[in-house]
Amino acid sequence: MAKPGPVLIVEDDNKTASLISLYLKREGYETALASDGVEALALVRQKNPLVVILDIMLPRLDGWEVCRRIREFSHVPILMLTARGEEFDRVLGLTIGADDYVVKPFSPRELVARIKAVLRRTSITTGERSDKLKVGGLVLDTHNYEVTVDNRPVVLTASEFKLLRLLMNAPGRLFTREQLLNALYPLGEQVVDRVIDVHIGKLRHKLEKDAANPRYILTVRGFGYRIVQDDQEESIP
């Protein structure tokens, strides 16, 4: 994999973008700036950013659409900036592939802390073993950060990859929603209650032939989720 590039700040307000950049540079991060959605997509492809800070209200393409398009080709961590704090907006951001969100107005120090938290919980260190986890036709490569289903490559968000890796490391084991939540957000970050269900739903749509009748990620009603031990096992409705 290519070496991660700078933190990409996608924000059309120059003052806000410069302030974010200043605080990140103080923490030792390189930064790159994009002022509209089209430019942002080009820079993601060109610079392989470490993380994308993505405002919602952008010229040419809004943040929602930029996030959707990034997820078609990249699993770079995305932290969305929104002036709206309603649960619907937060769930929508997570549903289309964002890893976290910050509601405006925000403290630059808080934003930097959230970026560090996203990177901590989504990072795959170069020292990890190159083992491949396999369940039926589902294969997860922990070293190259790749997932395939029946030899078809699947692009996951960083959080989706981490969640799937956790499940595949223990086939057949039941994980409660609380256990999965604690694994994804070990620092106790505040997230919406439905975040695990959102991630599982997205994973099923990407991995399963029929998301309504999954053969890999099974629901244990009232408890949580597990990965099958045998890919022929029937799903629990």
Q: Residue 215's domain spans which residues? A: 132-227
pLDDT for the residue 59? 94
Q: Return the number of other C-beta atoms located less than 10 Å from residue 112's C-beta.
A: 17
What pLDDT is recorded for position 234?
38
Task: Please indicate, yes or no, whether residues 11 and 101 belong to a single structural domain of this protein.
Answer: yes
Residues 173, 92 share a domain: no
Q: Indicate if 19 and 92 belong to the same structural domain.
A: yes
138 sits in which H/E element:
strand 138-141
Alpha helices for 27-154 (secondary structure H)? 37-47, 63-70, 87-95, 108-122
14 and 97 co-located in one domain? yes
Cβ-proximal residues to 171 (8 Å cutoff; 6+ apart), any chain? 135, 226, 227, 228, 229
State residue 124's pLDDT score: 41
Q: Which of 102, 122, 142 is the last residue of a domain?
A: 122
CATH of the domain at 145: 1.10.10.10
Q: Are residues 49 and 118 in the same domain?
A: yes
Q: Sheet harboring 7-10: ordered strands across?
A: 31-34, 7-10, 51-55, 78-82, 100-103
Q: Give the pLDDT score at 133.
A: 87
Same domain, 163 and 185: yes
Final residue belonging to a domain, choices 101, 122, 143: 122
Per-residue pLDDT of the chain (237 residues; tens, 9 = 90+): 445 689 999 999 999 999 999 999 999 999 999 999 999 999 999 999 999 999 999 999 999 899 989 988 887 889 988 876 666 666 666 677 788 888 888 888 888 888 887 787 665 433 344 468 888 899 998 877 889 999 999 999 888 998 999 898 878 888 888 888 877 876 666 666 688 899 999 999 999 999 889 999 999 888 889 998 754 443 333
Same domain, 108 and 22: yes
